[in-house]
Homo-oligomer: A and B are copies of this chain.
């Protein structure tokens, strides 16, 4: 019951009768260690419950075992799913998950990229973020293993979905139901991150309309900022139109929820008066009966973390681009337009 000083590599060396160098090599699975030696050392190590000190390793190698995850925020549903997925994989392989929200201004971002904690981490996962080439260069210069979720960046491993396809799938679902006047709840107009997901979904929305022979209308595209409140506001703008839409595609479920609220406050019934499609398959989508495109968000985290670990292990040479699956889930929020 003594105050157990944690044992060091020296203790293991002493107990096993080898030098610290050999112990280090043996325990890390490096070649050029006699099998018998390795066995004896391993036995000594776990007899002493030896656990290498991350700080010491960090000092000696210049890299920590932490994986840094940069997100726009920590509180939205989608990001929670991603963190959860990534954490599960990373903890499995003995990595720590360091989360932080990215400052909105470019110089503050650069500053944080240069901070030793980030620069000397093992890997870096960024979510739904995009930035100047200078920022990308800074990050590359750190020698970090880089993975991006939701958006493609040169030199990064990438996990994303077919964002154009998502929008097409959603809007086509609406046109097939007979809708001809279809609104769009989009991102923000002045996005500091130059996030390209909204752009691509907008593209998909337009392309689906064109394919259905429906004319575009600028007024039908409203920024909703990917938030509940933003969705409600945008929906209200749409409903105030002279010729309001009979259906709306929201780029995220949270915006769709806001839209639902806006519709209800005007005594409109979903889907009788208004059809609604979102994206995400949020936990609460089934609760309110929202038709949506599932993109299994937690899987994004799992894939990104897996990619990172593979590359850290030295497998998979070049940056890989993974595309996660999507699928339409129809619920009660979509129906043919009112006649």
Chain A contacts to B: CB under 8 angstroms: 3, 6, 49, 51-56, 58-59, 64-66, 73-77, 79-81, 83-84, 87-88, 91, 96-101, 114-117, 119-120, 141, 228, 254, 257-258, 260-261, 283-284, 286-288, 298
Contact between B119 and A66 (Cβ–Cβ < 8 Å)? no
Contact between A80 and B76 (Cβ–Cβ < 8 Å)? yes
Additional pairs, 7, CB under 8 Å, beyond known A3-B141, A54-B116, A73-B84:
A54-B58, A55-B55, A74-B80, A75-B83, A76-B80, A77-B80, A97-B98
B residues near A58, Cβ cutoff 8 Å: 54-55, 58-59
**Bound state CA distance, A66 and B117, in angstroms?**
10
B residues near A114, Cβ cutoff 8 Å: 49, 51
B residues near A88, Cβ cutoff 8 Å: 101
Chain B residue with minimal CB distance to A261? Answer: B287
**Bound state CA distance, A298 and B76, in angstroms?**
12
B residues near A54, Cβ cutoff 8 Å: 58, 64, 116-117, 120
B residues near A65, Cβ cutoff 8 Å: 117
**Bound state CA distance, A65 and B55, in angstroms?**
11
Chain B residue with minimal CB distance to A53? Answer: B116
